[in-house]
A and B are shown apart, each in its own frame.
Chain A
Amino acid sequence: NAGVTQTPKFRVLKTGQSMTLLCAQDMNHEYMYWYRQDPGMGLRLIHYSVGEGTTAKGEVPDGYNVSRLKKQNFLLGLESAAPSQTSVYFCASTRTGGYTEAFFGQGTRLTVV
């Protein structure tokens, strides 16, 4: 049972390049989340999904897009990366929203140069 798996773990991008971060969970959870973590800023919610085919904006959605085509996967896309998007990205999932605990992945460290 892998839980929440993020791919890749590390990545360096040049300004203007695009990339997709993959979050996969094998717990049949309905809700999935993407966060970014910067020094002194804690965990900030980018986008989330309450079920397959649905997405919603979080606190800091600008510059990111997401898709949830399959229940087990939640993709985070950067169409044109900027240095301000240098951060550690975490994915999480929960079975039924606030009723149950969230499980987090181990993070993706992204550097945009």
Chain B
Amino acid sequence: DAKTTQPNSMESNEEEPVHLPCNHSTISGTDYIHWYRQLPSQGPEYVIHGLTSNVNNRMASLAIAEDRKSSTLILHRATLRDAAVYYCGPHNYGGSQGNLIFGKGTKLSVKP
């Protein structure tokens, strides 16, 4: 199984960009890279995912290293509502495999 590591915490100022790193050095060729976030007292919610190319959606951007051993979640302008714990992990898309195992998460604090 892939081992995924993330910094325990990060701080940002409101309206500034935030770059959240994730290392997944043992990722396999059939793993997508997934990101979720969890607000206090809620279940995790999907943010973004990708395989090899950088991805953008309305919430964030995902930059994937060329060797796929690391990725970075980019919040272009942090808001107070972005304060949450962010989890990343490889998620296999093939056949009998399909486990989604996360890193321990990065707690993002956003200062006004």
Residues of A whose CB lies within 8 Å of any CB of B are 4, 31, 33, 40-43, 45, 48, 50, 54, 56, 58-59, 90, 92, 94, 96-99, 101-107
Quick one: which of A40, A97, A107 contacts B43, CB cutoff 8 A?
A: A107
How many residues of chain B are within 8 Å of chain A by beta carbon?
30
Query: Is A96 touching B93 in the complex (CB atoms < 8 A)?
Result: yes
Quick one: which of A42, A48, A101, A105 contacts B98, CB cutoff 8 A?
A: A48
Query: Is A58 touching B101 in the complex (CB atoms < 8 A)?
Result: yes
Query: Is A97 touching B104 in the complex (CB atoms < 8 A)?
Result: no
Query: Is A90 touching B103 in the complex (CB atoms < 8 A)?
Result: no
Residues of B whose CB lies within 8 Å of any CB of A are 1, 30-32, 34, 36, 42-46, 49, 85, 87, 90-105
Query: Is A98 touching B49 in the complex (CB atoms < 8 A)?
Result: yes
Contact residues in B for A50 (Cβ distance below 8 Å):
95-98
Contact residues in B for A103 (Cβ distance below 8 Å):
46
Smallest CB–CB gap between A75 and chain B, Å? 18
Contact residues in A for B1 (Cβ distance below 8 Å):
59
Q: How far is the CA of A48 from the CA of B36 in the complex (A)?
A: 18
7 A-B residue pairs with Cβ-Cβ distance under 8 Å, sorted by A, are: A41-B104, A42-B104, A45-B101, A59-B1, A99-B93, A101-B46, A102-B46
Query: Is B43 touching A99 in the complex (CB atoms < 8 A)?
Result: no
Contact residues in B for A94 (Cβ distance below 8 Å):
91, 98, 100
